[in-house]
Structure 1
């Protein structure tokens, strides 16, 4: 029998493979950053999937043979909210992480999530919403009457800076710009400046979804690629290095790929308008600024699918944006079509897999049923005694 087979026979829980990993605080600090992050990502996803699926064990094969748990520590960078649900132990050459089910009441959200990938504008910055803020945002979009704290994500309480938006609109409709021209407005909650990266298409794919998600989830706004975010100087991308047609296709595919969640019954994606503004150095065409106008989105726009997982058919599977959002805001189902059914016990604040228990409004308890079928002062004990004696005599005769 192999070591892994012996492990699976000895532990009844769902076991997920966390792959191979170097353990130890110092050892992981000395690792290649990309390799270290990849190991941590695989283990974090397995833990997240078990948290959302009733718990289990993550099995990690230790790469460094001289590892000592007491001396070296662990060194894994797991989300703080996850740690209260974990226990760890060595099992031969394996490191086992015992995962309990996600505690909805303690965490205030229904799903364990590594990253919501829902963005918003915080002043002049683009920031990702943590799961609790994402839940508040979803509830507020679902029902604008819901009020939150003064510092929460209320779509109605952040007025659009009209002066900034007018200046940004003027720039968006400019026939041409001058190289190193300094703009007369700054970044704001509705205006974002970005420089082009060396790899134009890759830089767009990495950064644009976050900017678009943040603006769409607010009041809309503008993203200008090719403007220095600190000096406000127009730089653009040199005409020899940019193919506007290809970049337009990349941007369109990038935005169309962004997942969205609708409460309103619609199915459209984020609406935007794209322009390439010519940048001149004196009289000669120098290059282009890529200007994107993002419309406010009616519901919730994700940069990409949330980083949240579950176990399906004994394998970890990512949740889609639709599944994640609907489960995060899950409430008791509408039973208006079944007036005879009533909630008996709500389980929504226990674990992600729990559902509310319903019962029939007119369902009678055992005592009431006994009175209906055996009215009067009927006593069951004499009947029970006669049946018992009869059964005993029958067994004795058989023997």
Structure 2
């Protein structure tokens, strides 16, 4: 059962590939007002339908099922009814009803198909709000009128408020002097003397005429009659929100607004009762601060209760003089009338969340990490979407789509080719059934679309195939050995999750549904859907509009669904956004080396190719596919900072090699190793222990010999025995100038260090150098300088000051040295000089890389982590470490995303 706080019964169908909500029996048709004498009941029905529609608009769309009370109802001749149409029209304004709703009658039920809400311009060119709302419950003063702000205007007001807050914060000024009378400014109004004098009186005379009237800061109300308390309770929140959101002002109750004469109010009330009523109204108010608000002021008001005296000083009521202060952010009279789906509930969006969603904007990437380009913007996406960024100058979203899921001029293109060939060779009767005649499109085969969508795998499913083609809605074929009731449920759930993610993650804004079909693998026969017993006892036939998807846009949304992951820069910027895997990274995870077939894999990845990102994605898939608990997956690395970084992702147990060798891991079934080239054997043979623990599970080893930090035996098998082996050569982290510098160091390493090793290793390393490629064209900055120690300190300080003035923060910067001893040499002088320059900075170790402080640590401890800007101080090693000197410098350089400064010390 789904609650919408109305009298109409509401239910949800939870076993269907779409959100289906039933609203019980309602009166439909143009003449519904004549058919229904109970206006309140009809209004309740309309409100229920509008709320449900609002929830679906904000949650990716869906279907509303309304049964007609009139058994003779005919949508074709009677439509939906004027009042309901008006409710939908106001809901989606400034869009048209047909932009978001389609209607189809099945029996006596009307199916209302709801397309997702989407920010951005409407058909008439006007701007739409980020989310859909029935009412904002935000008020403002407009001349002498109090008006509720419509959602579109609310977005504009809120953005102005946020800009105002940022401006005040940046200026860091003391509050300015009181502004001129009735001028518009950011401070509370200095009220004119007549109002102040009037409010300071102990009593006034009945019929006395005020010598001032209504204006932007004054509202007059009479509130006469027996419904005084009701009117006070209903109207006070509105006026409090009005003045708080505008410029502050006075509400005088007990004065006729037309004649300006005192009429009094609350004659039968006591002053304490009135004060209690006002306090109760005040407590209903919802004040919300923006994230960038430093004032965090309280919403305030003051009340003066003035006696009204008639002839012979008879008591004739009161005047309520409320002074409402201007609020630093926004004040709601109550939570916005805006709704969303929360699992199987329709939930009202609370004021704070509504404010956050309404004002959501893309992060200021250009200032803080110039290596990214926008692929999906919040300004033109459904409400649940997060911004998506790809690497600047790299394969953009449409290029990734063309690489992974190209659409031919005719016919159906099967992807990935190897998996299609394998499946259709094994089950030849399926090939023709899943490739319809005519049209063009893509058939995307997966061992489990449920796993691809982060859902639990069903082991009875052989494979899934998603067909996206012209002139038909997307179809998801679930291929099984035999039909069972729970398999139909799994198929529908997977189709449901795919539809939701295409909209709410991938940003698809068209009319969309995903049709599930269950197939028997050997015969290719369709398995009929079992009969269901629920309120929803008929099949949905979607309107024709759903059968003509925008294939290109749909496939681009699918690429976002499958390739997106949370960016590690999200924490730096203070807002979550997504990055995209490269095609090379994606294919390793999804097609070339699927871990169910390749339980042990050696992944050789060049610096900056995203090995740790793939390791994290791999563990998520292991957890879902193999039905694992967190304690059954183990991530092993060499240093503490990388362990802390991965532990925060809450995918697996995370330990260092030393801890792994000292403790028992009896519950562990699967192991992922990162930075394996730097593992030592001082605590014992880690490889042998890990191999034994994971003998029946997954064992993937990520390594990069170019970043080796010691020359001792690391327990890895001989290079020729590292099979199967996969290579990552597409660099995604570093600017192209930094990448070129890294390639130079790689060639030096190959020509010197590896010349002493076996020929197979050397040929392999040479090939990696030749195959290395930068995934983008963002150049970044590289400086290599020779200076004295004092000059290095001065240069670092001046550069940091410049970076701060350009909008960078401490969280962007890391300062690295070859050893901890060299860190000690520079640490205190640098920090002291920065403090003398009045720069409020802190230095932290690599363990605290998520803090808004400059990381100051050794190269080895920062291995596996990254920051936008890296200073490498005097990367010269002792004689006994000369063999790995270039490796350490390469490791340090590869940590820098956008700017790298290599500073050698001269005597």
TM-score (norm 2): 0.37
Q: How do 1:135-284 residues align onto structure 2 when only pairs under 5 Å count?
A: 135-144=155-164, 156=184, 165-196=192-223, 197-237=225-265, 239=267, 241-263=268-290, 264-265=293-294, 267-282=296-311, 283-284=313-314
Give 1:121's aligned residue: 141
- Cα shift at 1:116: 0.9
1:134-193 CA distances to partner (integer Å, 9 max, x unpaired)? 11111111112999xxxxxxx94699987x733222211112110111111111111111
1:210-262 CA distances to partner (integer Å, 9 max, x unpaired)? 111111111111111111121111111253x2132122112112112211121
Give 1:354's aligned residue: 385
Using the alignment, how far apart are the partners of 1:305 and 1:245 within structure 2?
Answer: 28
Give 1:288's aligned residue: 318
1:39-63 CA distances to partner (integer Å, 9 max, x unpaired)? 1111111001001100001121212
Which of 318, 342, 351 matches 1:312?
342
Using the alignment, how far apart are the partners of 1:159 and 1:273 within structure 2?
Answer: 17
- Cα shift at 1:293: 0.8
Correspondence 1:78 to 2:87: yes
- Cα shift at 1:270: 2.1
Say if 1:254 and 1:266 are closer, same or farther in 2 by CA, change over 3 A.
Answer: farther
Give 2:503's aligned residue: none
Give 1:303's aligned residue: 333
Task: Name segments (4+ residues, structure 1) moved above 6 Å.
Answer: 157-162
Q: Is the 8 A contact 2:103 2:112 kept in 1?
A: yes
Correspondence 1:13 to 2:18: yes
Say if 1:32 and 1:258 are closer, same or farther in 2 by CA, change over 3 A.
Answer: same
211-220 or 188-197: which moved more?
A: 188-197
Larger Rg: 2
Q: Is the 8 A contact 1:256 1:270 kept in 2?
A: no
1:366-387 CA distances to partner (integer Å, 9 max, x unpaired)? 7636x97844889xxxxxxxxx
- Cα shift at 1:74: 1.1
Which of 51, 54, 78 matches 1:48?
54
Say if 1:159 and 1:144 are closer, same or farther in 2 by CA, change over 3 A.
Answer: closer
1:82-137 CA distances to partner (integer Å, 9 max, x unpaired)? 22211111122222110011121235321011111111111111001111211111
Give 1:131's aligned residue: 151
Q: Is the 8 A contact 1:165 1:221 kept in 2?
A: no
Using the alignment, how far apart are the partners of 1:133 and 1:74 within structure 2?
Answer: 29
Using the alignment, how far apart are the partners of 2:239 and 2:37 within structure 1?
Answer: 32
Correspondence 1:28 to 2:68: no
Give secondary structure in 1 for the equivalent of 2:730.
helix
Using the alignment, how far apart are the partners of 1:165 and 1:23 within structure 2?
Answer: 55
Give 1:89's aligned residue: 104
Q: Is the 8 A contact 1:139 1:146 kept in 2?
A: no
Correspondence 1:66 to 2:94: no
Give 1:98's aligned residue: 113
- Cα shift at 1:350: 1.3
Using the alignment, how far apart are the partners of 1:288 and 1:134 within structure 2?
Answer: 35
Correspondence 1:322 to 2:352: yes
- Structure 1, unaligned stretches of length 5 or more? 1-6, 148-154, 379-399
Say if 1:372 and 1:100 are closer, same or farther in 2 by CA, change over 3 A.
Answer: farther
Which of 331, 344, 349 matches 2:361?
331
- Cα shift at 1:67: 2.1
Using the alignment, how far apart are the partners of 2:65 and 2:330 within structure 1?
Answer: 36
1:267-315 CA distances to partner (integer Å, 9 max, x unpaired)? 5542100121100003222221111111111111111111111000121
- Cα shift at 1:359: 5.7
The structure whose RCO (Cα within 8 Å, separation 6+) is larger is 1
- Structure 2, unaligned stretches of length 5 or more? 1-11, 123-127, 168-182, 393-606, 611-727, 732-763, 772-907
Q: Is the 8 A contact 1:217 1:301 kept in 2?
A: yes
Say if 1:268 and 1:60 are closer, same or farther in 2 by CA, change over 3 A.
Answer: farther
Give secondary structure in 2 for the equivalent of 1:78.
helix
Q: Is the 8 A contact 2:295 2:328 kept in 1?
A: no
Using the alignment, how far apart are the partners of 1:294 and 1:10 within structure 2?
Answer: 51
TM-score (norm 1): 0.81
Q: Is the 8 A contact 1:79 1:114 kept in 2?
A: no
Say if 1:105 and 1:262 are closer, same or farther in 2 by CA, change over 3 A.
Answer: same
Q: How many residues align?
A: 362
Say if 1:324 and 1:333 are closer, same or farther in 2 by CA, change over 3 A.
Answer: same
- Cα shift at 1:328: 0.8
